Amino acid sequence: MTHKPARRKTHIGEVVAETLIRTSGLSTIAFILLIFAFLAREGVPAFFEVKANVLFGARWYPTEGFFGLWSLILGSVLVTVGAAVLAVPTGLLAAVFVAEVSPRWLREIVKPMIEVLAGIPSVVLGFLGMLMLSPLVRQVFNAPTGLTAFSGSLVLAYMALPTIISVAEDALDSVPRAYRDAALALGATRWQTIWRVTVPAARSGILTAMMLGIGRAIGETMAVMMVTGNAARIPLTLDSFMRPVRTMTATIAAEMGEVAQGSTHFHVLFAVGILLFVITFLVNLAASLAIFQQTRRAERLLS
Amino acid sequence: MILSREWVQRLGFAFLTLVTVMVVLPIVLVVGYIVMQGAPALTWEFLTQMPRGGMREGGLLPAIVGTLWLTAGTAVFAVPVGVAMAVYLAEYASDNLFTRLVRLSIINLAGIPSVVYGLFGLGLFVLFLGFGSSILAGALTLSIMTLPVIISTSEEALRAVPQSFRTVSISLGGTKWQTISRIVLPQALPGILTGVILGLERAAGETAPILFTVAAFFLPRLPRSVFDQTMALPYHLFVISTQVPGMPVKIQYGTALVLLIFVLSMNLIAAGLRSYYRRRRQW
């Protein structure tokens, strides 16, 4: 006697659901393209309306037709570099502490605190930066104003920390236990094991953490706008950290509300958006290449 | 003097502890200070009245309601799309170039600055599609920004469901879709919910994406439909701390506290949910 397999009923609903899910996979790529397309639609005209030497000049006085992006780009770079110098070492050391050193009970306190920090809206940090941090900066450094690039870097460093710490901690956590055991069995102290075995083994993940943190810092808008003072000037001298600067993000946020649609100023602000999009895209591309590299290496090790 | 290895380790660990304390302590101070300064402003009137007198008196009602609308609107758009994408990545996608491209675009979507999302929302929703400055435009902008968080946490939750659950369901004659919709999704639900709440938390606190897509400087009435403009808590805090001279500090801190409570209570719910289901989970 032969059994015929029972025919499965194909439900219309099932086919629809599966088709929807398969197409949704496409939509992330579509969103990236869409974002770029609409930035380009409004931003590309700027490159035709403004002469190149003006666009890459030093002066940003939009009302008089000076659209020098250079001071904004350097402003963003200055604040971000400052934030990275503060946040990268701090974040890595904290990640090492949480992943390798901290007793369990302490980890259960520190990790939720880091999540709280990640959850605090940037406008709240900007608000406190204005009210508490900037008077402090002004007093300590005896500067004419506390709204400086340094204040911006400090706030940004704090905002980048949760990203750096959690990604780096994940990377350290995923280093196989056997690596540490082997080092300890050979007579290394835990301290030596951390710096000569665990951290080097997690280095591509740590690199990703740094890149993602820096990417976060470049794109931050509200807090930076509120604490950096927003003076558009070329920050090339050594005392620039103690002076106000203006970043690309803050410029868009502060000026977009007041420009006429379709004006040159409007197009230039979108062009700044294109620039930001490209920069963060490259930073994140670099970060994700590091991720892929790590998984590839893990596969090689396992096979 | 050369330190012994044990002393190097002891000093090193002490240093790491110090750095971590330096990271964590300011968080406690920041939250504590806002609570202390803001608490006196928190009255029933503050939460339920319209702002008056150039926003220097009265309450926050339209900003609170606006943020609720925006958060709910974001959930309506971002949750179905985000969860569908997570199901695709966890259950359907094979490891090929296309999947890698999808993952790459999710990572990059997560990295796009919030103000650029604002520009995009202005270009596409407000101007090109003609929604104007409205809750619809703002919620759509916020939901695209929120997608990466929802996708990655949901995918993780789906992948955590043991493979044997799927095998059993298929071997009992279930189709792939039945397996996903009746076995895998319900099992992954708490994890997905956690991700959704974390995503919405981010959306509720963001200012830059709503600057040019929905936020009103001062609009002392409640929105009636998704085509209305509205005030929102984060933008309101920005306005009263930078744009209005002579603003009472008490109201500023009160607004900051309300926003913080709104956002951090979502954080708390997500954390509670996660630990509750982790303890209850059988597998």
Find out whether A80 and A218 touch, Cβ atoms under 8 Å. yes
Contacts of A140 (CB under 8 A, 6+ apart): none
Q: How far is B83 from chain A (nearest CA, A)?
A: 9
Rounded Cα distance, A21 and B149, in Å? 18
Within chain B, where are the H helices?
5-38, 44-48, 61-87, 97-111, 114-121, 135-159, 163-171, 176-178, 185-205, 208-211, 233-242, 249-280
User: Is A280 close to B19, i.e. CB distance below 8 A?
Assistant: no
Tell me which chain A residue has its CA closest to the CA of residue B99: A25
Rounded Cα distance, B270 and B265, in Å? 9
A234-291 tens-digit pLDDT: 777 777 788 888 999 999 999 998 888 889 999 999 999 999 999 999 998 888 777 6
Q: Go through B85-99 and write b for each residue having 16 or more CB atoms within 10 A of its CB, e for each that does not.
A: bbbbbbbebeeeeee
ipTM for this model:
0.91
Provide the chain A residues 137-166 that lie in CB contact (below 8 A) with chain B: 158, 161, 165
Find out whether A240 and A78 touch, Cβ atoms under 8 Å. yes
A184-196 tens-digit pLDDT: 999 999 999 999 9
pTM: 0.90
Is the Cβ of A120 closer than 8 Å to some Cβ of chain B? yes
- pLDDT value of position B6: 87
Find out whether A96 and A171 touch, Cβ atoms under 8 Å. no
Q: Which residue in this structure is represented by tokens 């899910």?
A: A21
Dig out the tokens for B220 from the structure: 């002392």
Closest by Cβ to A221, choosing from B99, B205, B208: B208
Rounded Cα distance, A205 and A174, in Å? 9
Rounded Cα distance, A58 and A72, in Å? 9
**Residues of chain A contacting residue B27, judged by C-beta atoms under 8 Å apart:** 113-114, 116-117
Find out whether B227 and B138 touch, Cβ atoms under 8 Å. no
CA B180 to chain CA centroid, Å, is 26
Provide the chain A residues 171-200 that lie in CB contact (below 8 A) with chain B: 189-192
Dig out the tokens for B195 from the structure: 């991700």
Q: What is the DSSP letter of A8?
A: P
C-alpha to C-alpha distances, B70 to A27, A122, B148, B207, nearest whole angstrom: 22, 18, 18, 12
* Residue pLDDT tens, chain B, 283 long: 567 888 899 999 999 999 999 999 999 999 999 999 999 989 898 898 888 877 788 889 999 999 999 999 999 999 999 999 999 999 888 888 888 888 888 988 998 999 999 999 999 999 999 998 999 999 999 999 999 999 999 999 999 999 999 999 999 998 888 899 999 999 999 889 999 999 999 999 999 999 999 988 888 888 888 899 999 999 999 999 988 888 888 899 999 999 999 999 999 998 888 888 878 776 6
- pLDDT value of position A241: 80
Angle A264-302/B114-121 helices, nearest 10 degrees?
130
User: Is B115 close to A252, i.e. CB distance below 8 A?
Assistant: yes
- pLDDT value of position A302: 47
Rounded Cα distance, A94 and A88, in Å? 10
Contacts of A202 (CB under 8 A, 6+ apart): A168, A171, A172, A174, A175
- For chain B, the 3-state helix, strand and coil shares in percent, each to the nearest 5, are 75, 0, 20
Angle B135-159/A12-43 helices, nearest 10 degrees?
130
Indicate whether A2 pLDDT > 60: no
